[in-house]
Structure 1
Amino acid sequence: MASDDDSYPLHEAVFQGDVRKLSSLLRSHDVGRKDKHGNTPLHLAVMLGRKECVHLLLAHGAPVKVKNLAGWSPLAEAISYGDRQTISSLVRKLKEQAREQMEERRPNLVNALNQMGDFYMKLKWDFQSWVPLVSRILPSDICYIHKRGSSIRLDTTLVDFNDMRWERGDITFLFNGDRKPSQSLTVLDNKAELYQRVRYEETEVEIEDEVDILMSSDIMAAQMSTKSITFTRAQTGWFFREDKKEMVGSFHSEFYVINGMLLESRKRREHLSEEDLQKNKAIMESFTKGRTQGFDSSEPVRRSSLTPPPECKVTWQEYIQSDCGAHPPLGRELVYKETNKTFKATVAMSPDFPLSVDMLLNVLEVIAPFKHFSKLREFVLMKLPPGFPVKIDIPILPTVTAKITFQEFAFRNDIKSELFEIPSYYEEDPTRFPDL
């Protein structure tokens, strides 16, 4: 018999639809182990439509945010298969696992913030696009960040940045690390004098709304490939070339060109009807003409499950003996498009900036609910040249790049605690920011 290194008993039990055997094996085997194709048992259960196996695996903590060699998660495969109940279960479990991971990291994060000096920081975002019409309507934003103890305050004019829209305003985001999780994150709308606690858990209606959106949109997988990235010193001068050095704000900086930054964007739409495709196309056309409001105003109609794909005729042996990452199709036939865009970006690194990259990562982890800040965090996690990245170009969406400049920074011991409180005259509105 093959050793456990090259046999996959959980995967095989799922393939055979043997729920009893799967239940028994789960006591002694790793529920998140990947096979040679990068699939976990949950990937296979979803692709093959084995609903009982899906529920059993989720009950045993099968990871949902995990990708196979083709770059797809179990949730992506569930959307393709089209069983609404399975998609809902995975969305629910994905959020639960994200909360658990945050809870595990939280004590270390709060501790790191407490050990860091209190500070004030100002940074500027400029959004640009190579699509001319889109470029004209893209926003820019100046953010102010204050940090005191384990509390952070972010003031911004940009509520959030999505594929189809952005919202302007006068927004404050508060994180109070010494409060319990359900009370620690708050967003203030300073114009309307409202506040909303960033909910720790979504309601059933919100989860079902999200399922409707997933079932009617392209399945997207976009990732920045950093495998082939190199940094070279940026040059200046026409005749006598020399390394580019400039002041960014009050910080001496050395400029580098980032070569080989590749945005791999993949989309699937085998689960969409012709009507879905037409509707999505109309939304995109309206978006590129600069109209970003007015969609989804009607009451949503809940999407029904799709008719399942034909029953899979692939045997376990055919699956596991196929070349790595090239197994026979198990679910619906893919309708697939891949685009790769190479970015040539620059980064300015300063040895003078008082904050370290590790400290910045801790701050960014707190404000990750804002999607563009989570992109900045992904970028800073790369192995950068020495110093602190005071000016950066990063891709935010396949068509949109952001230039971020750290304009000011100062450690200060006079930051007042009132900055991190909700004003007493603000009213609570739990629906003010539906995406948070």
Structure 2
Amino acid sequence: MEDFSKYAHSSAHLAVARRDYAALRNIVSTLPRVAKAGEVNTEEESLAAEVQADAISAVIDRRDVPGRETPLHLAVRLRDPVSAEILMAAGADWSLQNENGWSALQEAVCNREESIAMIIARHYQPLAWAKWCRRLPRIVASATRIRDFYMEITFHFESTVIPFIGRIAPSDTYRIWKRGSNLRADMTLAGFDGFRIQRSDQTFLFLGEGYSSEDGNVNLQPGSLIVLAHKEKEITNALEGAGAQPTEAEVAHEVALMSQTNMYRPGIDVTQAELISHLNWRRQERTEMVGNWKAKVYDMLHVMVSVKSRRVPGAMTDEELFSVDDEERTANGENNDEYDDVLTAEERMQLDSALRMGNSDGPCEDDEHGVVECQENGEANGVSKDKKSWFGWNKKGSKNAGDDPEDSKILKKFSKLAPEGSNHKALDHQKSTSEFPKEDMGDSKRGKDKSSKKKKKKGPTSETKHESEYKKGLRPVLWLTPDFPLKTDELLPLLDILANKVKAVRRLRELLTTKLPHGTFPVKVAIPIVPTIRVLVTFTKFEELQPSEEFSTPLSSPAHFQDAKSKDSEGSVSWISWMRGSRGGQSSDSDSHRYKDEVDPFLIPSDYTWVDANEKKRRLKAKKAKSKKHRKQAAARNGEGTTHQASEEVEE
């Protein structure tokens, strides 16, 4: 029997607890109406719509109750689909976390409440799109007020004990242009699989001002986000169909996918972060030159990365999931010893030793590289495998994340949308990233601490058997300068556009959310991966762009421009090479300056082919069918091999 007294101060909670649907509908009817897509067109209207949204959230999303449950969480726990439908129709934020760090949708899936999970899944796509549309005018206006610039950010790995790390570890230089409310990012690094490089020459174009080609064949609305794949010469609209109501088949498929794998919630907590300056031999603050900027060096203490896992009844075990993954890799002809062609046997042993050091069981601390490990008690359902992918770059680990937006076909459309603001304490990468809600990581941390205390007091419980949490302490190193032309608060909204598409940018954004000394900017960040390996993120270049009207857009088409450039000396770089970006290297000052002057970076190539959502679905279906066929063939070959081996043993 629910104790109603603890909900006396919250009318929405009380109505849900009592199953008083008439009262709940009456509460919802008195709230302001949520602005729909297309109704907000100016910055003033956007600000007003946000005020209305906050007023709605203050009633139906409040968490000042035991367990920090929203009314939607309570409806899930009470197995009440009627209340869940009323709340979701009113615009409830399903992604907010309770004190244990789980959203209402995750709770519904873990409790096998498929009807409630489908209600939430049916509503969250239109709600996310409406939220994006009402914030878009404010995002565009904010971007316009920031100075126009060209910037380069490099990502590469280094190791104190593995000199050959540069040959196998991924690296890239991200080139970013900002002009008006338009943003362009060129990159060649799509992602990581352990240390396997996933290359993809691509460009992200956020067109806050819209786009119209000279021939009139291409017209894009303001706020469009497109992706240019340069190798395939294809263009996709990342937000195509984002506002469409999902079909019942899509909703059922989405919920079924969530139920097939266990829940994983990786996150990084910087709420307790503290900066300690490096001292030189004179006991003075250590300074270094990073690019053109003089920076002081700091250690960042008390940063915690965690992976929380939760068993979903009836879902595949981690071993089964990994087995399927291994079969797919084998069927696709992938060799597990992918480093054998670039490393000697001795170097391979050094690499394996370093990775084992980073994934060893039990607590360990490395003062020099700033890695600390710990694990909460509870039955670890594949936690040892989580350790190997705690930084989110291991394919097996990321594939586990049934609640990760990158593994969700429907929510992929929203993985590029910008978050609410730059006041995040930290982020948890789960489905909530599709809407970028305001997440209180401090609350989540307190919830985890409380959960840990409960486990220690009560001993093994049913919850303990199904939940586990792995934590790793980090000690990043930051190079801070007061001279960088951009402020952190100015850069964060721009990184938000890329953060959920590019993991390296996402990790950088998380660290930037901590409180840095006033007026400073981190021009370089070193993030430990394992005790002997770290990734370096460096802002290597920043140049203000000339006003847009002074850009000299070439008169000919991009293809003709490329042909003209090819007639120059061999040392010149073609237009298409500039479009693709360098493979981990940095362009010279003269090269980057020349191309910024000669070519409009926001020009869409006319010889590229547009690929719509239906074509992408067709390709995905064909890829799945091919993978399934390969798995069957591999299984058949394995069966024949086993039979042949058994017959030989019988003959002997």
TM-score interval, smaller chain: 0.7 to 0.9
SS in 1 for 2:68: coil
SS in 2 for 1:123: strand
CA distance, structure 2, for counterparts of residue 163 and residue 44 of structure 1: 39
Contact 1:160/1:370 (8 A) holds in 2? no
Query: For each residue in 1:223-252, what CA deviation from the matched residue of structure 2 results, as whole angstroms up to 9, or x when unmatched?
Result: 322232110101234xx4432211111211
CA distance, structure 2, for counterparts of residue 129 and residue 40 of structure 1: 45
Q: How far is the alpha carbon of 1:93 from its aligned partner?
A: 3.0
SS in 2 for 1:111: helix
**RMSD across aligned positions (CA):** 4.0
Contact 1:270/1:333 (8 A) holds in 2? no
Q: Decide which of 275, 286, 292 is 1:244's aligned counterpart.
A: 286
Query: For each residue in 1:167-201, what CA deviation from the matched residue of structure 2 results, as whole angstroms up to 9, or x when unmatched?
Result: 31110000110127686100000011001001251
The residue type paired with residue 173 of structure 2 is I
Q: Decide which of 206, 228, 245 is 1:188's aligned counterpart.
A: 228
Q: How far is the alpha carbon of 1:289 from its aligned partner?
A: 5.0
- Match of 2:81? 51
- Match of 1:337? 468
- Match of 1:24? 26
Query: For each residue in 1:319-375, what CA deviation from the matched residue of structure 2 results, as whole angstroms up to 9, or x when unmatched?
Result: xxxxx987x9xxx95600011211011111112211121221121123234242233
Contact 2:183/2:207 (8 A) holds in 1? yes
Contact 1:165/1:293 (8 A) holds in 2? no
Q: How far is the alpha carbon of 1:25 from its aligned partner?
A: 4.0
- Match of 1:413? 546
CA distance, structure 2, for counterparts of residue 14 and residue 258 of structure 1: 44
The residue type paired with residue 37 of structure 1 is G
Alignment of 1:424 with 2:606, yes or no, is yes
Q: Which TM-score applies when normalising by structure 1?
A: 0.78
CA distance, structure 1, for counterparts of residue 286 and residue 491 of structure 2: 25
Query: For each residue in 1:32-66, what CA deviation from the matched residue of structure 2 results, as whole angstroms up to 9, or x when unmatched?
Result: 12223210110011122211221111111111121
- Match of 1:254? 296
Q: How far is the alpha carbon of 1:271 from its aligned partner?
A: 2.5
Greater RCO, 1 or 2 (C-alpha within 8 Å, sep 6+): 1
Deviation larger for 417-426 or 178-187: 178-187
CA distance, structure 2, for counterparts of residue 164 and residue 104 of structure 1: 40
Q: Decide which of 68, 92, 116 is 2:146's aligned counterpart.
A: 116
CA distance, structure 2, for counterparts of residue 401 and residue 44 of structure 1: 42
Contact 1:155/1:172 (8 A) holds in 2? yes
The residue type paired with residue 15 of structure 1 is A
- Match of 2:103? 73
Unaligned runs of 5+ in 2: 32-58, 211-219, 330-334, 339-393, 400-449, 554-599, 618-652
CA distance, structure 1, for counterparts of residue 496 and residue 199 of structure 2: 23
Alignment of 1:213 with 2:262, yes or no, is no
Unaligned runs of 5+ in 1: 297-323
CA distance, structure 2, for counterparts of residue 41 and residue 106 of structure 1: 28
SS in 2 for 1:192: coil
The residue type paired with residue 274 of structure 2 is T
- Match of 1:315? none
Q: How far is the alpha carbon of 1:15 from its aligned partner?
A: 3.1
CA distance, structure 1, for counterparts of residue 276 and residue 223 of structure 2: 45
CA gap of 1:97–1:53, structure 2 versus 1, over 3 A, is same
- Match of 1:388? 521
Contact 2:259/2:312 (8 A) holds in 1? no
- Match of 2:16? 14
SS in 2 for 1:367: helix
Mapping for residues 159-238 of structure 1, pairs under 5 Å: 159-160=190-191, 167-179=198-210, 184-200=224-240, 201=242, 204=247, 209-237=253-281
SS in 2 for 1:82: coil
The structure with the larger Rg is 2
CA distance, structure 1, for counterparts of residue 524 and residue 250 of structure 2: 37
- Match of 1:353? 484
Alignment of 1:280 with 2:312, yes or no, is no
Q: Decide which of 365, 377, 388 is 2:496's aligned counterpart.
A: 365
CA gap of 1:77–1:162, structure 2 versus 1, over 3 A, is farther
SS in 2 for 1:365: helix
Query: For each residue in 1:198-229, what CA deviation from the matched residue of structure 2 results, as whole angstroms up to 9, or x when unmatched?
Result: 12517547655543432222212233222321
CA gap of 1:364–1:59, structure 2 versus 1, over 3 A, is same
CA gap of 1:222–1:234, structure 2 versus 1, over 3 A, is same
The residue type paired with residue 403 of structure 1 is L
Question: How many matched pairs?
Answer: 399
SS in 1 for 2:99: coil
Q: Decide which of 62, 67, 76 is 1:33's aligned counterpart.
A: 62
CA gap of 1:218–1:135, structure 2 versus 1, over 3 A, is farther
Query: For each residue in 1:366-421, what CA deviation from the matched residue of structure 2 results, as whole angstroms up to 9, or x when unmatched?
Result: 32342422332232122112411101135799x99643110111102066463213
CA gap of 1:13–1:115, structure 2 versus 1, over 3 A, is closer
The residue type paired with residue 254 of structure 1 is K
Alignment of 1:376 with 2:406, yes or no, is no
Higher helix fraction: Structure 1 or Structure 2? Answer: 2
- Match of 1:88? 118
- Match of 1:149? 180
Contact 1:379/1:394 (8 A) holds in 2? no
Alignment of 1:267 with 2:296, yes or no, is no
CA gap of 1:110–1:230, structure 2 versus 1, over 3 A, is same
The residue type paired with residue 185 of structure 1 is L
CA gap of 1:160–1:62, structure 2 versus 1, over 3 A, is same
SS in 2 for 1:125: strand
Query: For each residue in 1:239-298, what CA deviation from the matched residue of structure 2 results, as whole angstroms up to 9, or x when unmatched?
Result: x4432211111211111100010113211013244x4433223367789957888999xx
SS in 2 for 1:227: coil
CA distance, structure 2, for counterparts of residue 27 and residue 74 of structure 1: 22
Q: Which TM-score applies when normalising by structure 2?
A: 0.54
Contact 1:121/1:406 (8 A) holds in 2? yes
CA distance, structure 1, for counterparts of residue 132 and residue 528 of structure 2: 25
SS in 2 for 1:243: coil
SS in 1 for 2:499: coil
CA distance, structure 2, for counterparts of residue 333 and residue 129 of structure 1: 40
CA gap of 1:105–1:382, structure 2 versus 1, over 3 A, is farther
Contact 1:375/1:396 (8 A) holds in 2? no
Percent of aligned positions that are identical: 28
Contact 1:161/1:167 (8 A) holds in 2? yes
CA gap of 1:14–1:293, structure 2 versus 1, over 3 A, is closer
